[in-house]
């Protein structure tokens, strides 16, 4: 007898030490002590109860938020065992007070482990100022109460029961949690998901708190929610894709156990671009996927390509769909259950078990092949959608290659019109992009040829239909510009290769000139943003007037407003211009005038373009191009979003 008592005392000490450890470092066990940790308490208890349902006992879990700030989770399973443990305490008490109690009573032992932290009842109990458990079993009701994890008294039979199951009530400890108010909507979201992931499980969530004790945003939510989904993850897909245009009307669904991994998958394509793949391991969402996601992706790519080859005509035989092709517009849920889930990192957002990859791959390959063959209409629509995606990707690739072929990269010959400078020191070099040949002449004549290069380009560079990069590149002027810059464009852009650290747009000081500058700024903003960010883009500020007072005294005047101001000032001083020249364009200046006013680093005025300036130009551009943006948007959406072909 004495011996037995000793063991009892010894294990009791260990138990108290453990509770202490949990209360000292709660975050180690439940993630944190704020929102996440607080809600995790309920999730942990509910997942335990769901495991009992998954084991085949009971079909309902009820969750209640009580008036006093506690929560209750009730199931209709077998009831936690209350027989004596070797420590001399009832099994139930051991489970409620011991970390990772192991063996027969550990969740892992009778079914796959659930909760993200999988910490068990004892942790939740230790972090609750009040806890109680009621077991209905063999016609009897047993109860025990706890405070901060310690039993207040032994387990007692308190009545008789007509059914069986377990009911827990816990009140989270204010000393541990900063805020102990549960967010009802957060719980609804989580437990709705639990219901989706466990077909035919009923989850009832009820909020019995007083209005003033409820989270602000949840005041108007119905206080009672019941979730039941006959078709589990298939219903989940229906709910996600609600209101979308379906490609396959019949949702693909498969559930099979292979190599000790239970795999459940549902997929549906919609007429859209995005890919939604949700992966779960033991009812836990893995936001970063992992091995189950990889296995799925491999399988769907292979199955769809195999089927395509099976039905392909001459034209389609050559097509090889990539993973990206087959996942565009795809909604998929992959939910697996496996005995010993391994997660990557602290937050366990990614699954690591290699057996999950092969299991998912096997199940999807086998069943998807069958599905496609048995549903030829849906299969055809899926294949057609994938081929459209494939073609858009090809077009994007072709466009990119065109950029390279046409010499947007370094090494291609410089355009003949470019009057390059002698220096190869990009920091010192300036490229004047000059509108029109007429201005090109004086600019070439007037420049400092050591450091200043001139590229004359004609007229407006882009028009409304030519907004794609492959079109842009077919535009001679912009092609020249890209080649001259030497740093590539779009995906191949490498600013470190740029040949000039000042790119100076030089256009007439009139409306047309402003328009042209807008177009160039838009072009840079959309395809050469880094050039702007590096501070390499400038706009020259050529004068509109030359106002001569005398032979030796004259003024360069930027615009009409400045011109009026000048005339007023002169008048006040009783003076009058001898001669006023208004430049219709840059081409009207002679080379020394152009040098003095616009090109000479000592005397010129340059405006450095910021991203904000370019953004503004970009907006103006859309306005200039009229409201013909709908078909354009449509094109981008349906063809080439991924390739970012839109200018």
Which residues contribute to the site for ligand 0RA (CB under 6 A)?
A: 48-49, 52, 75, 77-81, 105, 110, 166
In the set 32, 512, 562, 613, the catalytic residue is 512
* CA 275 – CA 534 distance, rounded (Å): 34
In the set 52, 355, 378, 435, the catalytic residue is 435
Closest approach, Cβ 105 to ligand 0RA, in A, equals 5
Closest approach, Cβ 264 to ligand 0RA, in A, equals 22
| Site of tokens 């501070």 | 535
In the set 510, 562, 613, 615, the catalytic residue is 510
Q: Is 470 a catalytic residue?
A: no
The H or E element containing residue 593 is helix 591-594
Closest approach, Cβ 278 to ligand 0RA, in A, equals 26
Asked if 115 contacts 124 with a C-beta cutoff of 8 angstroms, the reply is: no
Measuring CA to CA, how many Å separate 610 from each of 494, 522, 532, 537, 630? 19, 12, 6, 8, 29
Q: How distant is the alpha carbon of residue 104 from its chain centre?
A: 42
Largest CA distance in the chain: 124
Q: Residue 321, exposed/middle/buried by CB under 10 A (0-12, 13-18, 19+)? A: buried
Asked if 113 contacts 121 with a C-beta cutoff of 8 angstroms, the reply is: no
Closest approach, Cβ 383 to ligand 0RA, in A, equals 47
| Site of tokens 């000039």 | 500
Asked if 194 contacts 178 with a C-beta cutoff of 8 angstroms, the reply is: no
Closest approach, Cβ 28 to ligand 0RA, in A, equals 23
Closest approach, Cβ 104 to ligand 0RA, in A, equals 6
Closest approach, Cβ 342 to ligand 0RA, in A, equals 23
| Site of tokens 């004790």 | 213
Q: Is 510 a catalytic residue?
A: yes
Pick 29 or 525: Cβ nearer ligand 0RA: 29
Reduced to 3 DSSP states, what percent helix, strand and coil does the chain have, rounded to the nearest 5?
45, 20, 35
The secondary structure of 17-29 as a DSSP string is HHHHHHHHSHHHH
* CA 106 – CA 245 distance, rounded (Å): 46
Pick 75 or 355: Cβ nearer ligand 0RA: 75
Pick 78 or 337: Cβ nearer ligand 0RA: 78
Pick 115 or 577: Cβ nearer ligand 0RA: 115
Tell me how many helices (H) and strands (E) the chain has: 21, 24
Asked if 64 contacts 52 with a C-beta cutoff of 8 angstroms, the reply is: no
Closest approach, Cβ 82 to ligand 0RA, in A, equals 8
Pick 75 or 173: Cβ nearer ligand 0RA: 75
Closest approach, Cβ 230 to ligand 0RA, in A, equals 24
Pick 75 or 420: Cβ nearer ligand 0RA: 75
Q: Is 564 a catalytic residue?
A: no
Can you say whether residue 484 is alpha, beta or left, with left for phi > 0 and alpha for psi between -120 and 50 degrees?
alpha
List all residues 6 or more positions away from 529 whose beta carbon is below 8 Å from its beta carbon.
611, 614
The H or E element containing residue 631 is helix 629-635
Q: Is 59 a catalytic residue?
A: no
Pick 58 or 442: Cβ nearer ligand 0RA: 58
> Could you tell me how many residues make up the chain?
647
Measuring CA to CA, how many Å separate 28 from each of 119, 130, 158, 320, 630? 10, 21, 36, 48, 53
Pick 134 or 378: Cβ nearer ligand 0RA: 134
| Site of tokens 């370094």 | 410
Closest CA to 21 of 96, 175, 126, 151: 126
Pick 167 or 367: Cβ nearer ligand 0RA: 167
Annotated catalytic sites, by residue? 435, 508, 510, 512
């Amino acid at each position: 007898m004495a011996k037995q008592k000793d063991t009892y005392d010894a294990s009791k000490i260990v138990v108290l030490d453990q509770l202490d450890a949990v209360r000292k470092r709660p975050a180690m066990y439940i993630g944190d002590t704020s929102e996440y940790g607080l809600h995790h308490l309920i999730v942990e208890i509910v997942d335990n109860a769901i495991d009992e349902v998954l084991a085949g006992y009971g079909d309902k879990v009820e969750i209640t938020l009580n008036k006093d700030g506690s929560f209750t989770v009730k199931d209709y399973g077998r009831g936690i065992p209350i027989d004596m443990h070797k420590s001399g305490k009832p099994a139930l008490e051991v489970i409620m007070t011991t970390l990772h109690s192991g063996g027969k009573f550990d969740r892992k032992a009778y079914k796959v482990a659930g909760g993200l932290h999988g910490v068990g009842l004892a942790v939740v109990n230790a972090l609750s100022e009040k806890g109680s458990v009621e077991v209905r079993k063999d016609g009897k009701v047993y109860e025990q109460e706890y405070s901060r994890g310690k039993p207040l008294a032994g387990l007692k039979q308190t009545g008789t029961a007509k059914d069986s199951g377990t009911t827990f009530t816990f009140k989270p400890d204010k000393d541990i949690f900063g805020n102990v108010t549960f967010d009802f909507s957060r719980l609804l979201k989580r437990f709705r998901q639990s219901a989706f992931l466990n077909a035919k499980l009923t989850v009832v969530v009820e909020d019995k708190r007083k209005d003033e004790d409820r989270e602000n945003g949840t005041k108007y939510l119905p206080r009672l929610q019941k979730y039941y989904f006959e078709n589990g993850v298939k219903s989940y897909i229906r709910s996600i894709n609600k209101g979308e245009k379906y490609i396959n009307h019949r949702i693909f669904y498969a559930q099979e156990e292979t190599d000790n991994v239970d795999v459940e998958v549902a997929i549906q394509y919609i007429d859209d671009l995005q890919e939604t793949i949700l992966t779960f391991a033991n009812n836990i969402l893995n936001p970063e996927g992992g091995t189950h996601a990889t296995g799925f992706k491999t399988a769907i790519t292979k199955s769809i390509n195999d089927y395509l080859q099976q039905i392909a005509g001459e034209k389609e035989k050559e097509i090889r769909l990539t993973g990206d092709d087959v996942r565009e517009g795809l909604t998929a849920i992959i939910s697996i259950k496996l005995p010993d889930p391994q997660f990557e990192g602290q937050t366990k957002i990614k699954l690591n078990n290699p057996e999950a990859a092969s299991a998912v791959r096997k199940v999807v390959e086998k069943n998807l092949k069958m599905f496609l063959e048995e549903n030829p209409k849906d299969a055809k629509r899926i294949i057609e959608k994938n081929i459209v995606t494939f073609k858009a990707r090809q077009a994007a690739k072709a466009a990119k290659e065109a950029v390279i072929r046409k010499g947007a990269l370094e090494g291609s010959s410089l355009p003949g019109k470019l009057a390059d400078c002698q220096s190869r020191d990009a920091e010192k070099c300036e490229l004047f992009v000059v509108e029109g040949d007429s201005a090109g002449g004086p600019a070439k004549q007037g420049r400092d040829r050591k450091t200043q290069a001139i590229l004359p380009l004609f007229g407006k560079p882009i028009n409304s239909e030519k907004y794609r990069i492959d079109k842009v590149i077919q535009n001679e002027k912009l092609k020249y510009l890209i080649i001259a810059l030497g740093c590539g464009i779009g995906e191949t852009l490498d600013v470190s290769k740029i040949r000039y650290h000042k790119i100076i747009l030089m256009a007439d000081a009139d409306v047309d000139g402003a328009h042209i500058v807008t177009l160039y700024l838009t072009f840079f903003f959309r395809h050469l943003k880094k050039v702007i960010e590096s501070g390499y883009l400038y706009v020259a500020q050529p004068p509109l007037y030359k106002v001569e007072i005398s032979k030796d005294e004259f003024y360069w005047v930027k615009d009409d407003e400045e011109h009026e101001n000048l005339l007023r000032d002169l008048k006040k001083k009783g003076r009058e211009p001898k001669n006023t020249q208004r430049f219709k364009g840059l081409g009207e200046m002679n080379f020394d005038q152009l040098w003095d006013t616009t090109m000479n680093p000592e005397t010129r005025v340059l405006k450095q373009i910021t991203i904000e300036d370019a953004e503004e130009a970009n907006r103006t551009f859309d306005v200039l191009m009229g409201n013909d943006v709908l078909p354009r948007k449509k094109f981008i959406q349906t063809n080439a979003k991924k390739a970012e072909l839109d200018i």
